């Protein structure tokens, strides 16, 4: 819209016509106080805090409902206005418990700030305040009624934002109150948005309430460790007797690709880190078959020695390596490098949750969509998948687009997924009809019985100028190719392939495959890598995950190095078949897989390390060390030390020390790690110059950028904490269509998260709380 | 059940069919019923609106907005359907006039809706009665049925080729739902919380379509204007205040009741002659001239004509036509308290100043009346009211604040008499008076 | 058309029609709740559930609305619900005294219900009878220009009515 010019407090400002005064002012650094106004949510004009004076208008007006107009003259601060705001606060405080000293929001409370600013110190009222007992509405949500100022933010974010509509307003007048959908409790997606958006301490969370004071925490922005959306989360951490513990997760500053959104996993699912079963000591299996806690040195020396023996005796092909969907890019990269250069094997794989090689092959340099794009998309085509359950961040972005930018959503699915409620057009198809659907969309009328709906669906899509195409794990190999080819007939199409875990995409990009090196370079053509790594790399494609276990059962695979992965339960491996395999497992917990290991290393989780991860959208983000757990080591460090124990030359594995390394010197490793000292000791012991730690992931990121064109992004922006989109256009890959399909979707829901989720008390209690309701439902 | 009271000065215009069996459509037709609707059909939209403008009819719901002008705001072209909405929520304490119209002349409301519909080219009208008026809903439903049967409603009304439907319903107990935008929310099945304006109903109203909303009396007056002609009608009243209105006289009067009097009729006469003066020869203490929301007038302020402009000049408002008379035995603190109790009970709770303000005012006044207040509480009461005024989301906040400010300003002494444990000095006086009633 | 309803066939039929009268179904909500209350006595969970289903909104939505309107109740009232106005005009003419008198004769407090469930009592805001004050409503019937004697008679008549 055309710009208009108007005057605020004597300053001439311009903004697009129709912009709300409150927004226009904020954009120019003029803060107008407001409780009920919240960007992106419907207008209320209920709190009356944003009143301003418009020239030639008799009454004060609410800036949150006044669109700027040409020549408008506005006063935002004056004795009259201050008095109006003061009076409003006095009224609010009249019945407010003022229990700030124990209130979660104390120190972060908008009511406190306003009171401080406009001063309503002495109370005009002598009547006693009405006390109401605090209510627990769900494992996550608590409600403290007297603190509520009725700004209706929670009601709106739950309804308009989440499309859950679980909160309402009941009674009227001074009896008005926020009410949960099940009378005395909530049945919802437990996202905690209502808590985060509450300007006071009326809504508090089961994890955080009464746990700490805001100023006791330090805040570290990092990436959620759960699903493949890669939401940014700001973790509040504080000292605990075994390191740094996480007490809160939110994204209030709205930085990051997810705005202020987080789902229950991102917001509360960090508690697995403090689970009693967390491993904090290395274990070695004894002759009697029992595990014995041992010192780090002993465990590493032992594991290194055995692996070396097996490699030297049987060759690398007798060893298998399984990587993780939750470790950083640097760790996955390092793991495959370790496998190929130290173990001399291509037997490398991971639990595949999406067919990324096929996707890369299909893309042939076309553009990939960032999660950001969905918030403002013109049109989205959602094929398969259930974002609400499996990609909550994406679901949020799509809803935002639909709500605020009129995004047209076309969804086709065999289930009646919830997102159909946002859909301009929803097409239900048979479970096996996805390939047919693509063929149909591509123009083959015989593919689907062209019921009117399908053709209307297709016609509408063909009208779209620019389209974001998202497909779920229902699509594999050749089908992806078909989708991409079809959608590429539209002027501007971007694509997203949905995979499950925080770094599933990274694991693929970093070459945790038997047949691909990092960047999907075939092992059969390892040119640049061979050079960089020095010496020759195994040329023959190795065994994939399933083949490795078959091999183990046949005794051909004698050792396995399993990092942050639980294939035994995932793929239902028969424990007996691994009886004679020497397994080194590193993980957070004694998983079904770790239980079969000979050596177990306690590993740090994603919140306890630094590095980068790549979301399923190809959004590359910085992971910052927030928490710290005594007795654990990062996977990165463990790989390096294992290599050293095997007699490998560490300098070759991690280019550290003097000599043109472009890495930053580990500053980004997070404040309270204490790693430095540990390294100091280790470095000294190995006569290494403690210039740059060999445990510094950025040393290897350097190499990643050098070798994988797609990762050649602005390092400066990345380090500054800005998400960068990998340049998937640069990926060179020959058609990967005919590879064996090993994709095994995790089928996680909003409240599960693979093995990790099993150790989250919060996710558990929510599932339990829902049991009755769920069973009652059917 | 409820009946009109008359007095030689009364001008039976709106009430001209009362008590003549006009609830039956045939009788209504005998009494020139539905002729105005036929006229309107012949006149066409612009002529109707001009006629109503010329009549100087002003809204009887309280605000006194010129009706013709309001109608002229409705856009001629509209993608969304247009609606006519009759506000029969009549809940302003002191007001009980719309009730008489529905009870004695239901067809005049229907005819008025049809004419309004023709004026803005709407195809549908709604008549919303307050929930307590269930017996009137029965009467209105029957009248509407009759009109359908006669072909005055439904498809091709009066053979004109125009379709028009009317739906009648009641609310369920909420004063705030009388506020025009809250009423639309209620009619859409929601909580009676008002809407953000602009946009105004004439542009975006019911179901998002252009809507005129008028008080029942306003609407029922329209057919009479067309019946006798705008010029005639305007002549009855005063300048810019055309015609007659139903005044509800209540409180300490010998002949309380609802009377139809010309706009601008002298308030003093209304009390002492029409209303028969004050029982027991007691002295007049105060008058609330236009329903509980209007600031109180002192005996020396009542020698004024009862139209929107003159009462306005006197520092109050004509409001909804409810004239409440208070004699010397009334405790003004108790009266102020009872008034505030009402607004506290009826605040929808949406906005802070009204929700919390009415609550704290009620608490403070309660304490004051009980003798538990100190001097600064009186200032505090005024402070609270003054800080509500003009700051709330809808006018209910003002409606609660204005009278309160008036009471404190004009009866401060009486407020002070309650201080420091003295409590209400009026108890025995009240008992005597009640004995008299 | 809704099968298996908790309402009488007449009322169910009325509801089926009601939702068709308006441009949007939801407009029928407030009247529906009132009629349902008249038949069932108060708005039980079952009523809320069926009304929500008929309108096609959540029960929460229905409750939000129910709790807003003062005539709608979620607890039983007496067969005859006596609503005495004590607002200004009635107050001036003895409304409070009428209320007190009812409390005594019925032996129940404001918002109380007689043990036999015959009467319930409620102090209410202006009911639109200001010129005929003091006034009260029993269910939907108006009783005006009340005195202690006349209200006694009113109550007696209802008791008698209930008798047969
Ligand atoms: C709190 C409040 C209550 C109101 N109650 C009524 C009412 O009961 N009846 C009515 O006609 N107007 C009422 N009004 C005025 C309406 O908002 C609206 O102005 C009126 O119905 C317009 O009709 P008119 O122009 O014919 O007066 C109320 C206004 C407010 C702010
Ligand atoms: S002023 Fe505010 S709280 Fe009061 S009725 Fe209007 S909107 Fe509701
Ligand atoms: S004040 Fe009692 S009916 Fe109006």
Compute chain A's Rg from CA coordinates.
28
Does residue B381 carry a pLDDT above 60?
yes
Q: Which of residues A243 and C64 earns the better pLDDT score?
A: C64
* Cβ contact A60–B390 (<8 Å): yes
Does residue B392 carry a pLDDT above 70?
yes
Mean predicted confidence (pLDDT) in A731-735: 71
Cα Dmax for chain A:
92
Q: Relative to the alpha carbon of B91, which ligand is closest?
A: 1
Q: Are A640 and A337 in contact (CB under 8 A)?
A: no
- Sequence length of chain B is 437
- What pLDDT digit, counting tens, does each position of A453-474 carry? 899 999 999 999 999 999 998 8
Residue that the structure tokens 């306890």 belong to: A608
* Cβ contact A179–C58 (<8 Å): no
Q: Structure tokens of A444?
A: 């083959």
What is the whole-number distance in angstroms between the Cα of residue B224 and the centre of ligand 1? 21
User: CA–CA distance from A728 to each of A365, B305, B332 (Å)?
Assistant: 7, 82, 79
From the CA of B400, how many Å to the nearest CA of chain A? 13
From the CA of B229, how many Å to the nearest CA of chain C? 31
What subunits make at least 3 CB pairs under 8 angstroms with C? A, B
From the CA of B158, how many Å to the nearest CA of chain C? 22
Q: Which atom of ligand 1 is nearest to the CA of B216?
A: 11
- Provide the 10 A C-beta neighbour count for residue A428: 14
Does residue A734 carry a pLDDT above 70?
no
Does residue A676 carry a pLDDT above 50?
no
Q: Which atom of ligand 2 is nearest to the CA of B350?
A: 3
Which pLDDT band holds residue A664 (cuts at 50, 70, 90)? very low
Angle at A269 between CA A263 and CA A275, to 5 degrees: 175
- Provide the 10 A C-beta neighbour count for residue B80: 14
Say whether residue B128 is in contact with chain C using an 8 A CB cutoff. no
Q: Structure tokens of A227?
A: 């699903």
Q: Structure tokens of A474?
A: 């229902």
Q: Structure tokens of B247?
A: 């005044």
- What pLDDT digit, counting tens, does each position of C72-82 carry? 999 999 999 99
Which pLDDT band holds residue A479 (cuts at 50, 70, 90)? confident
* Cβ contact B348–A45 (<8 Å): no
Q: Relative to the alpha carbon of A45, which ligand is closest?
A: 2
Give the residue on C whose Cα is nearest the Cα of A180. Answer: C60
How confident is the model at residue A738, as a pLDDT? 65
- What pLDDT digit, counting tens, does each position of A392-433 carry? 999 999 999 999 999 999 999 999 999 999 999 999 999 989
B170 vs C contacts (CB less than 8 Å): 30-31, 34
- What pLDDT digit, counting tens, does each position of B305-357 carry? 999 999 999 999 999 999 999 999 999 999 999 999 999 999 999 999 999 99
- Provide the 10 A C-beta neighbour count for residue A105: 21
Percent above pLDDT 70 for chain A: 93
Q: DSSP 3-state assignment of A432?
A: coil
pTM exceeds 0.90, yes or no: yes
- Mean pLDDT lowest among A563-567, A627-631, A715-719, C93-97: A715-719
Phi, psi angle pair for A509, to nearest 5°: -60, -35
- Could you give the CA distance from residue A91 to residue A85 in angstroms, rounded to a whole number? 10
Q: Which atom of ligand 2 is nearest to the CA of B392?
A: 1
Q: Relative to the alpha carbon of B346, which ligand is closest?
A: 2
- What pLDDT digit, counting tens, does each position of A221-271 carry? 999 999 999 999 999 999 998 899 999 999 888 889 999 999 999 999 999
**What separation, in Å, do the N-terminal and C-terminal C-alpha atoms of chain C show?**
36
Q: Which of residues A160 and A656 earns the better pLDDT score?
A: A160
How confident is the model at residue A673, as a pLDDT? 42
Which pLDDT band holds residue B432 (cuts at 50, 70, 90)? low
How confident is the model at residue A615, as a pLDDT? 97
DSSP conformational letter for A94? H
- What pLDDT digit, counting tens, does each position of B142-182 carry? 999 999 999 999 999 999 999 999 999 999 999 999 999 99
Q: Structure tokens of B430?
A: 């009240």
How confident is the model at residue A733, as a pLDDT? 77
Nearest CA to ligand 1 atom 22: B214
Does residue A122 carry a pLDDT above 80?
no
C132 vs B contacts (CB less than 8 Å): 2, 96, 256-257
Which pLDDT band holds residue A682 (cuts at 50, 70, 90)? low
- Mean pLDDT, rounded, of chain B: 96
As for the ipTM of the complex, it is 0.94
Nearest CA to B423 out of B337, B361, B357 is that of B337
Determine which helix (DSSP H) or strand (DSSP E) holds A236, and give its type and residue range: strand A232-240
Which pLDDT band holds residue A658 (cuts at 50, 70, 90)? low
Nearest CA to B275 out of B255, B259, B261 is that of B255
How confident is the model at residue A663, as a pLDDT? 34
Query: Which of B91, B180, B350 is the best mutation target for the ligand 2 pocket, counting ligand atoms within 8 Å of the beta carbon and taking the most?
Result: B350
* Cβ contact B391–A48 (<8 Å): yes
- What pLDDT digit, counting tens, does each position of C3-51 carry? 689 999 999 999 999 999 999 999 999 999 999 999 999 999 999 999 9
- Could you give the CA distance from residue B71 to residue B52 in angstroms, rounded to a whole number? 9
How confident is the model at residue A661, as a pLDDT? 37
Which pLDDT band holds residue A490 (cuts at 50, 70, 90)? confident
Which pLDDT band holds residue C133 (cuts at 50, 70, 90)? very high
**Which residues fall within 8 angstroms of residue C44, CB to CB, at 6 or more apart?**
C74
How confident is the model at residue B216, as a pLDDT? 98
Mean predicted confidence (pLDDT) in A564-591: 96
**Which residues fall within 8 angstroms of residue A725, CB to CB, at 6 or more apart?**
A368, A370, A617, A618, A619, A620, A713
How confident is the model at residue A668, as a pLDDT? 36
How confident is the model at residue A687, as a pLDDT? 62
Q: Relative to the alpha carbon of C124, which ligand is closest?
A: 3
- Could you give the CA distance from residue B411 to residue B408 in angstroms, rounded to a whole number? 5
Mean predicted confidence (pLDDT) in B245-253: 98
Percent above pLDDT 90 for chain A: 73
DSSP conformational letter for B2? -
Mean predicted confidence (pLDDT) in B49-74: 98
User: CA–CA distance from A215 to each of A104, A248, A359, A369 (Å)?
Assistant: 11, 12, 46, 38
Q: Which of residues A774 and B12 earns the better pLDDT score?
A: B12
Strands of the sheet containing A319-323, edge to edge, are: A291-293, A283-285, A599-602, A582-587, A559-563, A319-323, A348-350
Does residue A595 carry a pLDDT above 80?
yes
Give the residue on B whose Cα is nearest the Cα of C19. Answer: B189
What is the whole-number distance in angstroms between the Cα of residue B341 and the centre of ligand 3? 13
Q: Are A334 and A574 in contact (CB under 8 A)?
A: no
What is the whole-number distance in angstroms between the Cα of residue B131 and the centre of ligand 3? 15
How confident is the model at residue A314, as a pLDDT? 96
β strands within B130-251, DSSP E: 165-170, 211-215, 244-251
Q: Are B202 and B70 in contact (CB under 8 A)?
A: yes
How confident is the model at residue A534, as a pLDDT? 82
C-facing residues of B in 32-71 (CB < 8 A) are: none
Strands of the sheet containing B124-129, edge to edge, are: B165-170, B124-129, B83-88, B211-215
* Cβ contact A176–B383 (<8 Å): no
- Could you give the CA distance from residue A666 to residue A653 in angstroms, rounded to a whole number? 17
Mean predicted confidence (pLDDT) in A562-566: 97
What subunits make at least 3 CB pairs under 8 angstroms with B? A, C
A170 vs C contacts (CB less than 8 Å): 63-64, 67-68
* Cβ contact A168–C68 (<8 Å): no
* Cβ contact B437–C93 (<8 Å): yes
- Mean pLDDT, rounded, of chain A: 90
Q: Are B317 and B60 in contact (CB under 8 A)?
A: no
From the CA of B347, how many Å to the nearest CA of chain A? 5
- Could you give the CA distance from residue B222 to residue A100 in angstroms, rounded to a whole number? 59
Which pLDDT band holds residue B430 (cuts at 50, 70, 90)? low
How confident is the model at residue A674, as a pLDDT? 42
> Which residues share a beta bridge with A611?
A623
| Pocket (CB within 6 angstroms of ligand 2) | B 176, 194, 347-351, 354-355, 392-394, 396-397
């Amino acid at each position: 819209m055309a710009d208009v010019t108007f005057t605020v407090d004597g300053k001439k400002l311009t903004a697009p016509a129709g912009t709300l005064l409150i927004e226009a002012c904020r954009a120019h650094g003029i803060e107008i106080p407001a409780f009920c106004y919240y960007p992106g949510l419907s207008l209320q004009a209920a709190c009356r805090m944003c009143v301003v004076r418009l020239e030639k208008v008799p009454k004060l007006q609410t800036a949150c409902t006044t669109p700027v107009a040409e020549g408008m003259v506005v006063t935002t601060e004056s004795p009259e206005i201050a008095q109006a705001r003061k009076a409003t606060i006095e009224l609010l405080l009249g019945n407010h418990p003022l229990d700030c000293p124990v209130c979660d929001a104390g120190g972060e409370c908008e009511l406190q700030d306003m009171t401080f600013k406009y001063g309503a110190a002495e109370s005009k009222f002598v009547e006693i305040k009405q006390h109401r007992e605090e209510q627990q509405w769900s494992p996550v949500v608590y409600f403290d009624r007297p603190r509520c100022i009725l700004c209706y933010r929670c009601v709106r974010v739950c309804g308009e934002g989440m499309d859950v509509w679980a909160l309402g307003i009941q009674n009227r007048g001074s009896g008005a109150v926020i009410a949960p959908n099940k009378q005395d409790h909530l049945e919802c997606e437990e996202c905690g948005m209502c808590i985060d958006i509450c300007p006071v301490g009326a809504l508090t969370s089961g994890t955080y309430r009464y746990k700490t004071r805001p100023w006791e925490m330090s805040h570290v922005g990092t990436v959620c460790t759960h699903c493949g959306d890669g939401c940014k989360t700001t973790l509040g951490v504080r000292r605990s007797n075994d390191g740094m513990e996480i007490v809160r997760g939110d994204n209030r500053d709205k930085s990051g690709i997810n705005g202020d959104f987080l789902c229950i996993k991102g917001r509360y699912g960090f508690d697995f880190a403090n689970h009693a079963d967390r491993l904090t000591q290395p274990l070695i299996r004894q002759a009697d078959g029992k595990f014995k806690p041992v010192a780090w040195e002993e465990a590493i020396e032992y594991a290194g020695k055995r692996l070396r023996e097996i490699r030297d005796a049987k060759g690398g092909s007798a060893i298998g390596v399984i990587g993780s969907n939750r470790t950083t890019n640097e760790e996955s990269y390092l793991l495959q490098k370790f496998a190929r250069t130290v173990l001399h094997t291509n037997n490398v794989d991971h639990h595949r949750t999406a067919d990324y090689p096929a996707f890369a092959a299909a893309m042939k340099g076309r553009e990939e969509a960032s999660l950001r794009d969905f918030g403002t998309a013109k049109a989205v085509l959602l094929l398969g998948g259930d974002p609400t359950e499996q990609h909550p961040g994406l679901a949020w972005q799509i809803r935002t687009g639909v709500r605020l930018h009129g995004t047209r959503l076309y969804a086709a699915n065999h289930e009646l997924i919830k997102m159909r409620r946002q859909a301009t057009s929803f097409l239900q198809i048979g479970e096996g009809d996805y390939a047919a659907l693509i063929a149909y969309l591509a123009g083959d009328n015989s593919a689907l019985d062209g019921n009117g709906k399908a053709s209307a669906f297709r016609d509408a899509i063909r009208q779209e100028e620019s389209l974001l195409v998202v497909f779920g794990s229902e699509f594999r190999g050749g089908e992806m190719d078909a989708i991409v080819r079809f959608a590429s007939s539209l002027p501007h199409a971007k694509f997203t392939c949905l995979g499950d875990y925080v770094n599933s995409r990274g694991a693929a990009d970093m070459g945790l495959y038997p047949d691909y090196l990092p960047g999907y370079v075939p092992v059969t053509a390892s040119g640049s890598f061979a050079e960089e790594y020095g010496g020759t790399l195994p040329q023959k494609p190795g065994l994939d995950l399933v083949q490795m276990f078959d091999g183990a059962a046949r005794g051909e695979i004698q050792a396995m190095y399993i990092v942050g992965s639980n294939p035994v339960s995932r793929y239902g491996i028969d424990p007996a078949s691994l009886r004679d395999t020497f397994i080194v497992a590193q993980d957070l917990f004694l998983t079904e897989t770790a239980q079969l290991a000979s050596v177990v290393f306690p590993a740090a989780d994603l919140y306890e390390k630094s590095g980068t991860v790549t979301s399923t959208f190809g959004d590359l983000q910085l992971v910052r060390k927030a928490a710290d757990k005594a007795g654990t080591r990062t996977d990165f460090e463990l790989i390096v030390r294992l290599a050293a124990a095997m007699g490998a030359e560490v300098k070759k594995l991690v280019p550290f020390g003097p000599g043109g390394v472009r890495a930053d010197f580990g500053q980004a490793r997070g404040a309270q790690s204490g790693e430095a000292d540990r390294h100091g000791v280790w470095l000294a012991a190995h006569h290494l110059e403690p210039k740059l730690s060999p445990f510094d992931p950025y040393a290897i990121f350097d190499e990643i950028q050098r070798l994988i064109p797609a990762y050649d992004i602005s390092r400066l922006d990345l380090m500054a904490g800005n998400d960068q989109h990998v340049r998937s256009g640069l990926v060179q890959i020959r058609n990967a269509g005919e590879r064996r399909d090993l994709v095994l979707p995790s089928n996680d829901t909003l409240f599960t998260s693979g093995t990790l989720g099993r150790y989250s008390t919060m996710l558990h209690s929510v599932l339990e709380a829902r049991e009755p309701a769920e069973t009652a439902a059917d | 059940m409820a009946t009109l009271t008359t007095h030689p000065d009364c001008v039976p215009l709106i009430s001209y069919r009362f008590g003549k069996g006009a609830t039956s459509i045939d009788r209504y037709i005998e009494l020139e019923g539905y002729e105005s609707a036929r006229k309107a059909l012949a006149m066409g939209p612009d002529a109707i609106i001009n006629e109503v403008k010329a009549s100087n009819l002003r809204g009887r719901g309280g605000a006194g907005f010129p009706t013709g002008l309001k109608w002229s705001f409705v856009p001629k072209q509209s993608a969304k359907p247009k609606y006519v909405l009759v506000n029969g929520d009549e809940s302003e304490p002191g007001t009980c006039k719309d009730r008489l119209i529905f009870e004695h002349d239901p067809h005049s409301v229907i005819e008025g809706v049809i004419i309004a519909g023709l004026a803005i080219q709407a195809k549908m009208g709604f008549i919303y009665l307050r929930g307590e008026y269930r017996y009137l809903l029965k009467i209105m439903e029957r009248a509407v049925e009759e009109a359908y049967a006669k072909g005055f409603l439904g498809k091709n009304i009066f053979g004109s080729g125009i379709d028009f439907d009317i739906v009648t319903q009641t609310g369920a107990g909420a004063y705030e739902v009388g506020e025009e935008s809250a009423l639309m929310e209620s009619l859409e099945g929601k909580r009676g919380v008002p809407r953000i304006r602009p946009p105004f109903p004439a542009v975006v109203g019911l179901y998002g379509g252009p809507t005129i909303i008028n008080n029942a009396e306003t609407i029922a007056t329209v057919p009479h204007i067309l019946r006798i002609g705008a010029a005639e009608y305007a002549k009855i009243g005063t300048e810019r205040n055309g015609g007659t209105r139903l005044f509800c006289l209540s409180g300490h009067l010998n002949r309380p009741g609802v009377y139809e009097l010309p706009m601008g009729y002298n308030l003093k006469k209304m009390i002492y002659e029409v209303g028969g003066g004050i029982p027991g020869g007691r002295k007049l203490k105060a008058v609330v001239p236009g329903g509980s929301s209007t600031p109180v007038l002192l005996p020396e302020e009542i020698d004024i004509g009862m139209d929107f402009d003159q009462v306005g000049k006197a520092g109050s408002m004509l409001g909804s036509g409810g004239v409440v008379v208070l004699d010397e035995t009334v405790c003004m603190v108790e009266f102020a308290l009872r008034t505030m109790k009402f607004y506290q009970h009826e605040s929808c709770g949406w906005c802070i100043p009204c929700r919390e303000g009415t609550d704290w005012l009620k608490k403070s006044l309660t304490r004051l009346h009980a003798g538990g207040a100190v001097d600064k509480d009186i200032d505090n009461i005024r402070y609270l009211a003054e800080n509500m005024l003009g700051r709330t989301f809808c006018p209910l906040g003002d409606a609660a604040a204005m009278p309160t400010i008036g009471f404190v300003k004009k009866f401060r002494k009486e407020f002070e008499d309650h201080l420091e444990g003295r409590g209400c000095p009026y108890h025995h006086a009240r008992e005597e008076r009640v004995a008299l009633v | 058309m809704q099968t298996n309803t908790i309402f009488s066939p007449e009322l169910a039929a009325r509801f089926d029609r009601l939702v068709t009268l308006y441009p949007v179904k939801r407009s029928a909500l407030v009247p529906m709740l009132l009629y349902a209350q008249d038949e069932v006595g108060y708005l039980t969970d079952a009523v809320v559930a069926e009304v929500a289903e008929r309108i096609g909104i959540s029960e929460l939505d229905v409750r939000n609305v129910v709790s807003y309107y003062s005539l709608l109740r979620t607890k039983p009232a007496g067969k005859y619900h006596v609503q005495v106005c004590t607002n200004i005009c009635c107050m001036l003419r003895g409304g409070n005294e009428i209320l007190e008198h009812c409390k005594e004769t019925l032996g129940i407090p404001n918002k109380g219900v007689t043990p036999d469930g015959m009467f319930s009592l409620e102090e209410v805001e202006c009911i639109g009878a200001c010129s005929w004050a003091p006034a009260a409503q029993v269910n939907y019937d108006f009783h005006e220009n009340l005195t202690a004697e006349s209200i006694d008679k009113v109550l007696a008549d209802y008791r008698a009515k209930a008798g047969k």
